[in-house]
Amino acid sequence: MTYDKHRILIGVGGGIAAYKVCEVVSTLAKEGKDVRVILTEKAQAFISPLTLATLARHPAYTDELFWQPIHGRPLHIELGEWAEVFLLAPLTANTLAKLAWGMADNLLTNTVLASTCPVLLAPAMNTDMWEQRSVQRNWQQLCVDSRYHQVGPGQGQLACDRVGAGRMAEPAEILPHIQSLLHTRGLRDLAGLHILISAGGTREFLDPVRFIGNPSTGRMGIALAQAALHRGAEVTLVHGPMENVLLEPLGAVRRIPIVRADEMHQAMLTHFPRSDWTIMAAAVADVSPASYSAGKLSKQALPDCLPLKTVPDIVAELGQQKQPHQRLIGFAAQSGDMLAPALDKLQRKQLDAIAANPIDQPESGFASDRNRAILLDRQGRSLELAPASKLQMAHQLLDFVQGMGK
């Protein structure tokens, strides 16, 4: 059977964090995804089937409907075979224990066992409950099962006023993980790789309040980090200032914040030797003021002509140090003709591949939620990427790099 839409099944457990699922369901439905929701008996004490049915644009399922057939087949079989991705949120200690031991005594757990798609687990519970040895044993048992993927739990204030581990992941972290699972079908094909990524712009200061910078938000680099992490890689992200960008969805990504180009230069050189892939998505300054004033310059003291000095070319230096087993990927943000400057940069800086993306076209460039690009590599391959979310483009770029040399 073929389907026109991506299919996401969401199982809601009995916990106060169930309210967060509303945003997940609503967002997916608005994106045109086909969404189905199962509620446990306890979940209905926190959120109604009517609420989730309305947001999903489809009736929600409860245990009362367990033996109601669909197309003449048992409900849990039909739903299990239908789903492409199965999200369990909030995952309670009770449901966690059942999954760990292969038990099925309600519609939700029967559907999990009747399905073969990747399952994304978003646990939520009191800190003391989460830290119980038995709960951690069950959690670790699922974590080693390749079918199960994990998002959270995070740290924070819980409904019981306790501050600690056990807080359910936010929708902003869950939604990208679902998108990744739809792309990868649950494969962790980058497991064992260390991927180093740079992101965002740098700021080259004239005095404490004035700097030379650019509009880069770092969203493309964040998307690359998320995609690589979801595919099993160990990820290090060196990033410039990101005051208006949500960083919580980066989960286990190691983040190294910097401000100036010389700081990014040092961080990239430090971590480059142990990286398998390095993706230079940052918009690093080409020049900086030749001198810096420790105190704010008055308007009258500002020079009519600002002396500048060049900053180190990070990607070119990495290209010179690159070992045979390493892959180095650059970005070329261009206006007008993209290919000629990108090809020149690819060869001159000893890159293995480059993404040439326009900054003068709709749905691309700085501060956009979407992007487009032409991917090129040293073997002469090229691939044009149509406008897509930056996370989708990140996965396409990782696919392209993975196919190099084949």
Kindly list the catalytic residues: 160
Place of tokens 């924070």: 156
Contact 168, 90 (CB under 8 A): yes
Instruction: Tell me the CA distances in angstroms from 366 to 37, 77, 90, 218, 372, one per residue in order.
Output: 36, 46, 35, 8, 11
- For 345-398, give the DSSP string: HHHHTT-SEEEEEESSSTT-STT-SEEEEEEEETTS-EEEEEEEEHHHHHHHHH
52 by DSSP, 3-state: which? helix
In this structure, the strands spanning 163-167 and 154-157 are antiparallel
Contact 32, 108 (CB under 8 A): no
CB 10: neighbour CB atoms within 10 A? Answer: 26
> Which residue intervals of 296-338 are DSSP H helices?
314-321
In this structure, the strands spanning 277-280 and 287-289 are unpaired
Peptide bond into 90 cis (omega under 30): yes
CB contact set of 343 (below 8 Å; sequence gap of 6+): 376
333 by DSSP, 3-state: which? strand
For residue 150, the number of C-alpha atoms closer than 13 Å in the C-beta half-sphere is 17
The DSSP code for 297 is P
How would you classify residue 210: left for phi > 0, otherwise alpha for psi between -120 and 50, otherwise beta?
beta
